[in-house]
Amino acid sequence: MEKVLGFLKQLAENNNREWFNDNRKWYEESREKILFLTDVLINEIGEFDPAVRGLQPKDCVFRIFRDVRFSKDKRPYKTNFGSFICKGGRKSMNPGYYFHLEPGGCFIAGGIYMPPAPVLKSIRNYVADHAEEWLEITNEPDFKKQFPEMYGDKLKLAPKGFPKDHEHIELLKHKSYIYSKTLEEKVVTSDNYIKEVVQLYEQLQPVNVFLYEALAE
C-alpha cells in the first residue's frame, strides 16, 4: 500500500486535472491495487458473513472524482480510496464493512452510515425494542476494547416519535449506527495488515447482523 499512499500524498498536494492527467497511469495502478484488496476482503469476510459473497469489487470501491456542483470546495479529486463491502454494493444502503485509505487518516468501520430517514426510523424502532441485545453486542469486552464508542453525529433532542425519557434515548439519538477504528500507516503497510483488518471486521459482524434484522422488520 506504500505506493498507493504515495500517490494520494502527491494528489493532496497537486489536486488539479493537469497533474492528475499527467499521472493517470499511477492513479490506474493504485486503483487496481484497491480493487484487488477489495476482492481479497470480500472473500475473507464471506467466510463469516455470507451476505457479501459474490460481490464484485467495482461495486464496492468509491470513485475518486468529487461531485463539486453544489460544493464550495472545487477540488476535483478525493484524497482517499474507500471501499464499502455490503450486500448489493456501496449504493445499496445496507449494513457493511468500510475500508478507508488516506495518508494520516486510515481507518476501518462497520455498520450503516447516515441512512435515509425511513431506514433510520426502522433501525431506531428496532433498537428501542431490542436495546439490551444491542448493548450486549457492543459492550462485549473484546469488542469494547477495539470499538469503545459509536461514530457519528447525534440529535440534541429525542427523535420524533420517541419519548424524551425513554430508557435508551441516547442510543436512539444517533444518526448513524457505525463503529470505526483508526489504523496507523505502519499497520496498513505491514505484511499482515489484511489479517488484522479481517479480524476487526469479524468483531463488527454481529452489529451488521443486528442491523439487517432491524431492516427486515
Q: Which tens digit of pLDDT belongs to each residue from 146-174?
A: 999 999 899 999 999 999 999 999 999 99
What's the pLDDT at 217?
67
Instruction: Tell me: pLDDT of 68 over 80.
Output: no
What's the pLDDT at 181?
96
Paired sense of beta strands 81-86 and 96-101, if any: antiparallel
Print the domain residue range for 17.
Answer: 2-216
Number of domains in the chain: 1
Q: If you average pLDDT over every residue of the chain, what do you get?
A: 94
What's the pLDDT at 188?
86
**CATH code, domain with 21:** 3.30.930
Mean pLDDT of 37-45: 97
The string of DSSP codes covering 14-25 is --SHHHHHHTHH
The predicted-structure confidence for 191-207, as pLDDT tens digits, reads as follows 888 999 999 999 999 99
What's the pLDDT at 1?
84
Instruction: Tell me: pLDDT of 66 over 90.
Output: no
Count of residues making up the chain: 217
143's enclosing H/E stretch is helix 141-146
100's enclosing H/E stretch is strand 96-101
pTM: 0.94
| Residue 21, CB-side half-sphere exposure with 13 Å CA sphere | 3
Distances in whole angstroms, Cα of residue 138 to Cα of each of 34, 147, 177: 30, 8, 11
What's the pLDDT at 40?
96
The predicted-structure confidence for 113-147, as pLDDT tens digits, reads as follows 999 999 999 999 999 999 999 999 999 999 999 99
Rounded distance between C-alpha atoms, residue 111 and residue 86, angstroms: 10
